[in-house]
Amino acid sequence: MELGNKLVFYVSKPVGGIVGCGEVLSKSHNTDLLWQDELASGMSIYPYKIGFKKIFSIPKELWISKRLRMPNSSITFYHGINAVESIEHSDMLTNCIKSNWNVKI
């Protein structure tokens, strides 16, 4: 992940779709405890952190009705942070976001 990389925010359950997009502003490595499982264990589990700016997001109450789904693509979404491996997939995501939300990333 590099500064300036674009992000899409995918919510798996119960939404199953993209709900927003952003851009990477910073990245760091620290042991600050932020997540519930880190606080419960008292240990840093996720030391790599990114700062980002939100370009666009759907209000949470509209996630299911306004989400972007990609059922006819071969793009696979996993838990965590994943790279889009091909220009074709990147273009597909960019075009879908532009045509559905009128947002350029």
Task: Give the per-residue pLDDT at 71.
Answer: 66
What residue has token string 């109450």? Answer: 61
Among 60, 70, 76, smallest CA distance to 95 is for: 70
Residue 46 carries which side chain, given as an amino acid letter? Y
Please state, rounded to an integer, the average pLDDT across all residues of the chain.
90
Which two tokens mark 28? 């760091």
8 Å CB contact between 93 and 84: yes
Task: Give the per-residue pLDDT at 85.
Answer: 80
Element (H, E) at 17: strand 17-29
Rounded Cα distance between 29 and 3, Å, is: 14
Task: Give the per-residue pLDDT at 62.
Answer: 95
Task: Give the per-residue pLDDT at 59.
Answer: 96
Read off the pTM. 0.80
